[in-house]
A and B are shown apart, each in its own frame.
Chain A
Amino acid sequence: MNTSDQYLKAIYLVQQVEDGPAATGKVADMLDVSPASANEMIGKLEADGFADHEKYKGVSLTDEGIVRAEQALQTYCIIERFLIEVLEVERFREEAKALQTVIDSTVAERLDTIIDRRSECPSCFSAEDDVCQHIECELVETADSEIAD
């Protein structure tokens, strides 16, 4: 996933949590980059027609930006689900964040042929938990059954 797609995904998720425009600082925090870098990239996204930035309010995605962000989020969901279901990685959030810089959407589509992902993906992604809400349920269920055993 390229840098602009990572930003679009981050803005999309911050907007979901905030239920409004995303503060540049929160986008920078989510991506672990400096506010200056975030400002620069948001300016580029605005110039490309993917986002609107309003001073003191924050950044909002345009319709075109939302489409791209949802595609990027879907790629991320595939990576997370692949790490959990196939490679059984415990720290899947941390690893998915690192891998998303290298794993492209075409590669994710192939990985998608061996995982069990819901048709509503990525709308079931929980921004607060940074994971698909169904995966979160499945993990809790697994943990509960392990405790019961």
Chain B
Amino acid sequence: MSVTRTVGSDHQLARLLQIGMVLEEVVEARAYKHAQSTDIDLEEDVLELLEEAAEESAEHRSRLEALIDELEAEPVAFEKIEPLVEAQYGKTKPDDFDGVLYDQLCNEETAYKFYDDVIGAIAASETSFSIDRAELVSVLESIREEEREGVEEVTELMETHQ
């Protein structure tokens, strides 16, 4: 064990990518739940944002799944995570319109932070992974960039609705 932020094996890398998949699935499932909520009256542009976020998360998770496959590990099925989100949604759902946007902002910021930390930990690692390191980093960097854009989009929408 080390206190340094690093990725020490294929196994640990696969585990981190599985966590990335789960984060994307949580975003996707929560975005659907927010959009379907009858308690909060959401405007068209917010519904559009939620739909796009869900689609983007589905696309990210399929890119992560391809990396997990290459590492010969098991992906985490959306069908497994969706009921978990559903089960806990009552306790964690936003109360109002601002809460929905804030939740979406947290999703994007958390995902950005996660990919940023994983990329940093891979860079600090001297481990020789069984998948191509340049390809791995390129996929993660591209997802991180989309999360950064997502943060900007939600922030802009929040400002519009102020």
**A residues at B contact (CB < 8 Å):** 2-3, 6-7, 31-33, 82, 86-87, 89, 95, 97-99, 101-104, 106-107, 109-111, 113-116
Kindly state the separation between the CA atoms of A89 and B109 in the bound complex, as whole angstroms: 27
Please tell me the size bucket of the interface on B. 20 to 34
Given A107-B110, A114-B84, A114-B88, decide whether A87 and B26 contact each other with a Cβ distance below 8 A.
no
Q: Does A99 contact B12, Cβ atoms closer than 8 Å?
A: yes
What are 29 pairs between A and B in contact, CB < 8 Å? A3-B4, A86-B22, A86-B76, A86-B80, A86-B84, A87-B76, A95-B15, A98-B8, A99-B19, A101-B5, A101-B6, A102-B16, A103-B117, A104-B113, A104-B117, A106-B106, A106-B109, A106-B110, A107-B23, A109-B106, A110-B106, A110-B107, A110-B110, A111-B19, A111-B22, A113-B26, A113-B30, A114-B87, A115-B88
Kindly state the separation between the CA atoms of A111 and B98 in the bound complex, as whole angstroms: 22
Mostly, the A contact residues are helix
Besides the known contacts A31-B3, A111-B26, A113-B30, 17 further A-B residue pairs in the complex with CB atoms under 8 A apart: A6-B3, A87-B18, A98-B8, A99-B16, A101-B3, A101-B4, A101-B121, A102-B5, A102-B117, A102-B121, A103-B117, A106-B110, A109-B110, A110-B23, A114-B87, A114-B88, A115-B84
Kindly state the separation between the CA atoms of A98 and B15 in the bound complex, as whole angstroms: 10
> Inside 8 A of A110's CB, which chain B residues have their CB?
23, 26, 106-107, 110
Q: Within the complex, what minimum Cβ distance (angstroms) separates B24 from chain A?
A: 11
Mostly, the B contact residues are helix
Within 8 A of A (CB), among B1-56: 1-8, 12, 15-16, 18-19, 22-23, 26, 30
> Inside 8 A of B106's CB, which chain A residues have their CB?
106, 109-110
Kindly state the separation between the CA atoms of A127 and B80 in the bound complex, as whole angstroms: 31
Is residue B81 contacting chain A, with contact meaning CB distance below 8 A?
A: yes
Q: Does B88 contact A103, Cβ atoms closer than 8 Å?
A: no
Smallest CB gap from B5: residue in A? A101
Is residue B85 contacting chain A, with contact meaning CB distance below 8 A?
A: yes
Kindly state the separation between the CA atoms of A113 and B22 in the bound complex, as whole angstroms: 11
